[in-house]
Chains A and B, each alone.
Chain A
Amino acid sequence: MAGEVPIEQLADDMFQVVSDSAGQKKLKAKDLTKAVIAKYGDKISKDDTKAAIRLLIDSGRCVYGYFGGSSIELPHTEGSANE
C-alpha cells in the first residue's frame, strides 16, 4: 500500500543513492524514483516519490543540475564556475 513508508525515509534513501554515485554518474529524478521503488515496491506511490524529491531539494541536501538533461546532485562548486 502506498504511504506505508515515511517520506523522510524515502528522502534519506534517495540522498544515500545520490551520495553513493557522486562524482561517478549524474542521476536524474527518475533514477531516484526507480531506486526507492526497487526497494519498497508497492509500499510507495509515485506521489510519495515526488514528495520525497521535493523534501530532498527543499531541505538543501541536494540541488538540481543541468547539462544536456536535468540531474539531482550534491551541492558543490562547479568546475566551470567563475569566481
Chain B
Amino acid sequence: MSDELKTPLLDELEKGPWPSFITDLKSMADRPMVRDLLGQLEKSYRDKQGYWKHGGLVGIMGYGGGVIGRYSAIPDQFPGVSHFHTVRVNQPSGWFYTSEALNEIMDIWDEHGSGLTNMHGSTGDMVLLGTTTKELEPIFRALTAKDWDLGGSGSDLRTPSCCIGPARCENACYDTLALTYNITHKYQDELHRPMFNYKYKIKMSGCPNDCTAAMARSDMAIIGIWKDDIQIDQSAIAEYVDAGFNIQEYVIEKCPTKCITLEGKELKIDDSDCVKCVHCINVLPKALSPGKERGAAIALGGKAPIVDGALFATLIVPFIEIDEENGFEEVHDLLERIWEFWDEHGMNRERIGEFIERVTLKTFLEGIGVEPMPQQITQPRDNPYIFYEEYFEEETE
C-alpha cells in the first residue's frame, strides 16, 4: 500500500472561499491518529456511510459526563482511530484565556491525545478530539492538577456557558460571567453525575442580542433585560442627526413596535410599547443604553431536533433579579423548582421544552410556582389556555 494519503473527496472541501478543517487536519497528518481520521472520513464520504461506533461506558472514574466515547467500526483499516474519544473541558466563563493557559491544555493534549481541538463546541466547552481509553485517566489527572475540570455530557447539567457580557459590553444587563461561574460551582453534582431525564443546558446572554443564541440552543436561556425606560442622551442624538445619519430609515422604521419618533433633533420612545429588541440601542450606541433597573428574563425549552423537532424557548419569567450580593439566590431557587418538577413528572429523554408542551404551560407554571403573566403568551391566540383561579371563584359563586 502506498504511504501517500489520497483524499479526493475531502480535497473538494478545501476549494471554497472559507478556511477548511481539512486543511487543518492535513497540516497534522504526520500523526497516525490524524492520518487515519482523514482516511476513515474519506472512506465515509465515498461509501456514504459513517464508520463510528458508540462508546457506551467510556469515561472517567466517578464522572458520568465529560467524555464522549467513540470507536472506529473498521479498526483494521484505520488502527489510528480504533479509539477516538472526545474530552469536553469546562471552559472559563466568556472564553477568556491567557496564552499560558492554552499552552497548558495543548501540552496535555499533545502528550495524551491527537492534538486536535474544536474551540469551542456548541455546549461551550473546549472540545479535545480523539484519544484512547487508556489515556483518559492520565488526561483527567493532568487537567485537574492544573485546576481544569471536565464539562458535562449525557443526562446532566451541561457546562453552563455565557457571552462575554460586562467584560466587553457596556450594555450587558447583568454579570453573565459571575452567574456562569456561580452556577457551575454550585451544581457540580448535577454537572458530573447524570441524574436528569435528559440533558439540561443553561446559557447566559447579557442582553437581548443573545450572543450565545440561548433562545434557540439552551433549555434555560437567561437573557439580560431592563424594566424601566431606555436611557437617551439627546445631545448624542443631535450629533447623529448633524452627521447626516438617517435615524428615520435605520432606527424608527425598523423598530418592531413603531414606538420611536424623532422631533427635530429630539428622539422620543414610548417605552410602554417597547419590546426590548435592542435594535435602536445597537444602531445608536452613543445615544441610547438600556434602563437602569436591570436583571434578566428567563425562557425555557430551546433545543435542536433530536428526539422531537427543534423548539424555540418560551418566556417563563419576564424579569428576575440577578443579585450577586445575594448569592444569586433567586436564580437558584427557580432553577431548583424547575428541576424538581421535571424530575418528578418528566419522561426519559424528554427535554424541558417537550415536557412543557406535553403537560401544558398552565400545568408547568403551577408546578414550578410561577404566576401566569401576559408576557408568557407568544402571540394572541397562540397559547391562551391559562385560566386564572380568580375567574373560577367568581363563576362558582
Chain A residues with a Cβ under 8 A of chain B: 28-30, 50, 53-54, 57-58, 60, 63-70, 73, 75-76, 78, 80-83
Contact = CB atoms under 8 A, between A and B. Distances in A.
Nearest to B79: A82
A82 B153 CA distance: 22
A68 to B, nearest CB: 6
* Most chain A CB atoms below 10 A, which of B55, B57, B194, B348: B57
Given A50-B189, A69-B155, A81 B348 contact: no
Given A57-B64, A75-B57, 15 more contacts: A28-B348, A30-B197, A50-B193, A57-B62, A64-B193, A66-B64, A66-B69, A66-B194, A69-B154, A69-B155, A70-B65, A78-B56, A80-B56, A81-B55, A81-B56
A78 B59 CA distance: 12
B64 A70 contact: yes
A54 B156 contact: no
Interface of B: 53-59, 61-65, 68-69, 71-72, 75, 82-83, 133, 153-156, 189, 193-195, 197-198, 343, 348-349
B59 A63 contact: yes
A73 B57 CA distance: 9
A82 B83 contact: yes
The prevalent SS among residues of B at the interface is: loop
Contacts of B72: 82
* Most chain B CB atoms below 10 A, which of A30, A70, A81: A70
Contacts, number: 85
* Most chain A CB atoms below 10 A, which of B154, B189, B349: B154
A65 B193 contact: no
A63 B82 CA distance: 23
Nearest to B84: A82
A73 B65 CA distance: 14
B55 A80 contact: yes
Contacts of B156: 70
Given A28-B348, A78-B55, A82-B75, A60 B61 contact: yes
Contacts of A73: 57
Nearest to B53: A80
Nearest to B153: A66
Contact of A67 (B56, B59, B82, B189): B56
B248 to A, nearest CB: 54
